[in-house]
Chains A and B, each alone.
Chain A
Amino acid sequence: MSRTVTLAFRQALLEQRSFWRSAEYALFTFALPLALLLLIGSTTATGYLPGTHVEGQMIFVPSIIAFGVIVAAYVNLGAKLATLRHDGVLKRIRTTPLPASAYLSGVLGSTAATTLAITACIMTIGALAFGAVPRVSGLPEITGGLVLGVVCFGALGLALSAVAGSAESAAPIANASYLPLAIMSGIFDPTFPVPHWLSAAVGLFPVRALAQILAHGYTPVAHAPATDLLVLLAWTAAACAFTAWRFRWH
């Protein structure tokens, strides 16, 4: 058991080294959420949201954090694993005694580290540029939301890599699945108008659920995030089950 943990940790370090070494890749993984944060922050969403006592930045900063989690854990991880499978690297790893659990936890651990770095950047810029500081009593929501978000979207990334028939199709599938949801969930604009039925449908998906849990760490909006928690847990379970069923090494 302890050997599996050691191997997983070492694998996470290897993955991190390869992530930071591909400077371009790392740069744009960070650039996307940060650019959106600055762009949205400096144009629309500051001041009180219409008809509420909630300041816009208290919603959109955590929303961008959620967006960063999705990009790093879901889009990047899914595309990366699909590429590794396509290149035969996964098959090669399978020929070694490295346990599958150690490899996958290592990859997820590295994803978590990357996500943490992105989140730290967003929180810092959010605080310095827009005055969005989390509530002290909101720390459980922030940390819990981040952990659960990485696990949930990481599992969905694994599932995505299992769905994608080729390395090329992984990124389009990822974008087509999360971007419409992100827009409908008000990630980029909390006041984005959606019909009631659509809002109810979007609420069943993990994008808005994660954003709302994190937002709750910034501002005590009316509802407690219990439903959102359930949504994330359900998607995590579904993604894990799907991955166990369909994940292939070659």
Chain B
Amino acid sequence: MSTAIEVRGLTMSYAGREVLKGVDFQVRSGEVFCLLGPNGAGKTTTVEILEGFRQRTGGTVSVLGMDPQAQPARLRERIGIVLQECGFPRQARVAELVDSWRGYYRSPRDLDDLLEVVELTQDRSVQVRRLSGGQRRRLDLALALAGDPDLIFLDEPTTGFDPESRRRCWAAIENLRALGKTIVLTTHYLDEAERLADRVAILQGGRIQIVGSVRHVARQAGVKTRIKFTAPQQVLDGSLPPPECLDLVMDGGLAVCQAEHSGPALRELLTWAAANDLGDLDDLSVETPTLEDAYLRLVTGDAA
């Protein structure tokens, strides 16, 4: 698989303050790559350097084989950028605006096709100022796609969305991936990253702390799988000791067990249940670590 973005030893200083202290990562062609990190970690700076809006202090950056600060104009022919909170010209209508944006690119995407992808076909002649918040964000996306880019930067695409609009935006992003586009996503919503991203990178203190698939990140963070079930009466009143090799904790009427590997732990648990005539454990559930668990552990040192 080829590489869409390659960042090596990227540093950035503002007035003597080092914001990026040597950032390294790769984005593969056709994947959804999510950059996470607390506010002030340098996410925006990193993305703006990739987009060619900021001159880096040091390191090498290659985006679609180009150096963004050397050829920003050529690069912009092939990337699409969805910015947060950008307005539209006040008098414009939807299709008209998208069409004028197409005029800025050498090989634009078909107009009807663009409206279709973002589900604005019905609203093509609506005045932009009459659109709802969700529709406006989808128009944002249509404008970013006008040049039929190979690489798309999405900055907080669903901030302020209701659940329905969020789902539609996610569906649009998944459509883009299906079309083979590479997507770089920054977001505050960890469930969004978990749902959409092929790989995530956590940027903190000016460095990439970890990069990889959501599963990989969770494993590296040392977050354990949680197995829960309704605690049997015998365990609650102390007449039956819990299995020794498992770290079982009572949380009200719930027994919670944390395990590195869920398979052996489950086998152990069910063997113990069968041996003690507990049948199938009630409400048995296995919670694999979420990205949120891993993130909180890595970023705040919180043992979630």
Contacts and interface: CB of A to CB of B under 8 A. Distances in A.
Nearest to A94: B53
A89 B104 contact: no
B275 interface: no
B77 A89 contact: no
Q: Pick the most buried of B86, B146, B147: most chain A CB atoms within 10 A of its CB.
A: B86
A43 interface: no
Interface in B69-125: 73-74, 76-77, 80-81, 83, 85-92, 100-101, 103-106
B19 interface: no
Contacts of A89: 86-89
Nearest to B143: A92
B51 interface: yes
Interface string A87-112: 11101111111110000000000000
A218 B50 CA distance: 57
Given A14-B100, A95-B76, A95-B144, A22 B87 contact: no
Contacts of B104: 7, 93, 96-98
A10 B103 CA distance: 8
Interface string B142-163: 0110110000000000000000
A87 B129 CA distance: 12
A25 B92 CA distance: 15
A95 B89 contact: no
Contacts of A84: 89
Given A7-B104, A18-B92, A96-B104, A87 B87 contact: yes
A21 interface: yes
Contacts of A95: 51, 76, 80-81, 83, 144
A88 B87 contact: yes
A238 B99 CA distance: 37
A166 to B, nearest CB: 14
B103 A18 contact: no
Question: Chain B: interface secondary structure?
Answer: loop
Nearest to A99: B73
Interface in A39-93: 84, 86-89, 91-93
Given A84-B89, A96-B104, A91 B147 contact: no
Contacts of B76: 95-97
Contacts of B147: 96-97
A89 B143 CA distance: 12
Interface string B34-66: 000000000000000001010000000000000
A98 B76 CA distance: 9
B107 to A, nearest CB: 11
Contacts of A7: 103-104
Contacts of B89: 18, 84, 89
A91 B83 contact: yes
B140 to A, nearest CB: 8
Contacts of A14: 100
A97 B83 contact: no
Given A10-B103, A97-B147, A92 B91 contact: no
B141 to A, nearest CB: 12
Contacts of B92: 18
Q: Which 3 A-B pairs have the closest CB atoms?
A: A87-B87, A88-B86, A95-B81
Given A92-B143, A97-B147, 7 more contacts: A7-B103, A84-B89, A92-B86, A95-B81, A95-B144, A96-B104, A97-B76
Interface of A: 7, 10, 14, 18, 21-22, 84, 86-89, 91-99
25 contacts: A7-B103, A7-B104, A10-B103, A18-B89, A18-B91, A21-B91, A84-B89, A86-B87, A87-B87, A87-B90, A88-B83, A88-B86, A89-B87, A89-B88, A91-B83, A91-B86, A92-B83, A92-B88, A94-B53, A95-B76, A95-B81, A95-B144, A97-B105, A98-B104, A99-B73
